[in-house]
């Protein structure tokens, strides 16, 4: 059992839901990313996803695309991000997932990536463009190093895919709440309740909802039906609004706390 699984076990005992946040590594710089993770841990975030910037992020909307491009201009790479996690592990035990498209991992070397990620303190990996049908070797190696592999379900997932992802996903199942890319939305999808209910009837694993979550009301509604909520673009947008301000970390932390609360 790693930090992610322990966290969900703890939350179940307390009858609470997971609040998960996303940050693009190196936006606006790595030091700020580090300080934000520590601030999020302080305000009660349960799990942090750290995104590895990529030039062609198929699932991401304009806000996260812009953050990725900014980080890439700073030449942020996998080794930088792994060293960041290693540094964070000196002061925090907050569960950390890396979110990456498969191309950077493939170029880095699948085995090297998994081994180093585990050694440096990463708890899980989320790869949006990696179909579970093609991930057998990755899953096997990740299991060997106690690294959770988290897979996606969406509003269009048939029952066969729901059962497959339920079987192989570790840590939690990531439910994409809408058809489209990431980005703040004013309303939650109308079919959210029925789709989450269907998934939960077919899995004992935690189901967490992301994409489009941007208001406290969204968090409240999702936590009535799911095991956790994931907020990404709204946080990146708040970072962008505060770049150049000396209290950026405090301002973003306050926003995250308002969602968590």
Distance (Å) of CA 228 to CA 1, 88, 105: 19, 23, 27
Pairing assessment for the beta strands 148-150 and 152-153 based on DSSP bridges: unpaired
pLDDT number for residue 183: 42
Q: DSSP string spanning 78-118?
A: HHHHHHHHHHHTTT----EEEE--HHHHHHH-HHHHHHHHH
pLDDT number for residue 34: 98
SS3 content of the chain, % helix, strand, coil (to 5): 50, 15, 35
Tell me the pLDDT tens digit for each residue of 5-19: 999 999 999 999 999
pLDDT number for residue 27: 97
Specify whether 191 is catalytic.
no
CA 169 remoteness from chain centre: 14
CB 103 within 8 A of CB 54: yes
Residue appearing with tokens 């980005």: 183
Write out the chain's pLDDT in tens, 261 residues: 899 999 999 999 999 999 999 999 999 999 999 999 999 999 999 999 999 999 887 767 789 999 999 999 999 999 999 999 999 999 999 999 999 999 999 999 999 999 999 999 999 999 999 999 999 999 999 999 999 999 999 999 999 999 999 999 999 999 997 654 444 455 566 688 889 999 999 999 999 998 766 667 777 788 888 999 999 889 999 999 999 999 999 999 999 999 888
Specify whether 60 is catalytic.
yes
Q: Catalytic residue among 5, 60, 148, 227, which?
A: 60
Tell me the pLDDT tens digit for each residue of 164-201: 999 999 999 999 976 544 444 555 666 888 899 999 99
CA 218/CA 212 separation, integer angstroms: 9
Residue 159 phi, psi (nearest 5): -60, -35
Cα four-point dihedral sign 190, 167, 24, 56: negative
- b/e code 175-198 from CB counts within 10 Å (16+ = b): bbbbeebbbbbeebbeebeebbee
pLDDT number for residue 188: 62
Residue 46: is the preceding peptide bond cis (ω within 30°)?
no
pLDDT number for residue 106: 96
pLDDT number for residue 242: 97
Which domains does the chain carry?
3-260 (3.20.20.70)
CA 111/CA 152 separation, integer angstroms: 22
Q: Catalytic residue among 49, 123, 148, 227, which?
A: 49
């Amino acid at each position: 059992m790693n930090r992610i699984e322990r966290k969900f076990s703890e939350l179940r005992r307390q009858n609470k839901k997971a609040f998960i946040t996303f940050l693009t590594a190196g936006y606006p710089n790595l030091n700020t990313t580090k300080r934000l993770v520590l601030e999020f841990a302080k305000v009660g975030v349960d799990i942090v996803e750290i995104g590895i910037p990529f030039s062609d992020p198929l699932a991401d909307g304009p806000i996260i695309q812009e953050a990725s491009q900014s980080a890439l201009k700073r030449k942020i790479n996998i080794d930088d991000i792994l060293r960041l996690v290693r540094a964070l592990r000196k002061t925090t035990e907050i569960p950390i997932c890396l979110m990456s498209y498969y191309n950077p991992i493939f170029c880095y070397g699948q085995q090297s990536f998994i081994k180093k990620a585990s050694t440096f303190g990463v708890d899980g990996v989320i790869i949006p463009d990696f179909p579970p049908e093609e991930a057998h070797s990755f899953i096997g190696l990740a299991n060997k190093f106690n690294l959770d592999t988290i897979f996606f379900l969406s509003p269009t997932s048939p029952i066969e895919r729901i059962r497959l992802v339920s079987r192989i996903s570790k840590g939690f199942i990531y439910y994409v709440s809408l058809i489209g890319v990431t980005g703040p939305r004013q309303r939650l999808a109308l079919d959210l309740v029925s789709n989450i209910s269907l998934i939960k009837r077919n899995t004992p694993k935690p189901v967490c909802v992301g994409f489009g979550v941007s208001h406290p009301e969204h968090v409240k509604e999702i936590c009535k039906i799911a095991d956790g909520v994931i907020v990404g673009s709204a946080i990146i947008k708040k970072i962008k609004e505060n770049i150049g301000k000396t209290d950026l970390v405090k301002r973003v932390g306050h926003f995250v706390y308002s969602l968590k609360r």
